[in-house]
Amino acid sequence: MNNTATSAGATPAPKGLLARFIGIITAPKDTFASVVPTPKWLGMLAVTTLMIAFFTALPLTTEAGRQAAIDQQVQQMQSFGMTVNDQMYDQLQQGAGRLPYTTGGALLVFGPIMAVVIAGILFAIFNAALGGEASFKQVFSILTHAGVISAISAVFSGFVNYFRNGTGSVANLGALLPMLPEKSFLAGFLGTVDVFLIWYIVVLAMGLAVLYRRRTQPIAISLLSVYAVIAIVIALVKSRAGGA
């Protein structure tokens, strides 16, 4: 089995930042092939992080959006069995005016940190466990470029939520079946399954396949399986807490 990072053969010409951004959407494999030999990550990480932070905070700039965010926080806490008393609700209301700044700021700070953590996990799995030979910089570059899909998700959700005065994901499967009981397992599971996140995972699998010269399908199935397990656990916790 060939599990060596891409290094031999003709080296694709390096692409500019805009070309790489568009390429992840239109031709991800070819774009990743150009990223691997010259792994650049700073520009893409900066652009995608700023986009995600801005468009996630955008709906919170309206009073209705802030109220929707508070209602969503309350609903999430209650779905996990927590009791929200009047004092807790008042504290949420008092901090509502800061939500656009705290939300955007948190994403600017913790977004890159989480990217490093996830890249470290992938690096450990593919290099230490599976015998790959890619550098951490290459893995991190693949991850940051896959983040283009997350940025597109944030733009889409940000605009939709801004005009509908809502918050949260607008592309989860639960939104397509609003007739399901709110606290049921199926509603919780489908509410966790996001179309953009699935797209992101598939694109990330393509990038890792190019980097480690492996087939995309097994990597995608493995990553999607982990996602499914997490979604099932969340749905179970919510359904049991809701039925308690």
Tell me, yes or no, whether 9 lies in a domain.
no
Give the pLDDT confidence of 128-144 residue by residue, as tens digits. 888 888 999 999 999 99
From the first residue on, what is the mean pLDDT of each consecutive set of 10 residues in the chain (244 residues)? 47 86 97 95 97 95 87 74 73 81 94 97 91 94 98 94 82 69 71 90 97 95 93 79 54
- pTM higher than 0.75: yes
At 87-114, the pLDDT tens digits run 777 777 777 788 899 999 999 999 999 9
- Residue 157, in any domain of the structure: yes
Please indicate, yes or no, if residue 8 is contained in any of the structural domains.
Answer: no
β partners of residue 27: none
Q: Could you give the CA distance from residue 122 to residue 128 in angstroms, rounded to a whole number?
A: 10
Angle between helices 185-192 and 216-243 (to 10 degrees): 140
> What backbone torsions phi and psi does residue 204 show, to the nearest 5 degrees?
-60, -40
Q: Is 192 within a domain? A: yes
Indicate whether 112 belongs to any domain: yes
Three-state secondary-structure class, residue 194? strand
> Contact 69/167 with Cβ under 8 angstroms?
yes
- How far apart are the two ends of the chain, measured CA to CA in Å? 51
Distance CA 218, CA 22 (A): 26
Task: Determine the 3-state secondary structure of 34 from DSSP.
Answer: helix
pLDDT, residue 93, reads 78
Q: What pLDDT is recorded for position 7?
A: 44
Residue 2 lies in a domain: no
**CB contact burial 173-210 (16+ within 10 A = b; e otherwise):** bbeeeeebeebebebbbbbbbbbbbbbbbbbbbbbbbb
Q: How far apart are CA 15 and CA 156, in angstroms?
A: 26
pLDDT at 6: 45
Query: By residue range, what is the domain housing residue 198?
Result: 17-243
User: Domain count of the chain?
Assistant: 1
Give domain status of residue 41, yes or no: yes
Distance between CA atoms of 219 and 227, rounded to whole angstroms?
Answer: 12
Residue 85 falls within a domain, yes or no? Answer: yes
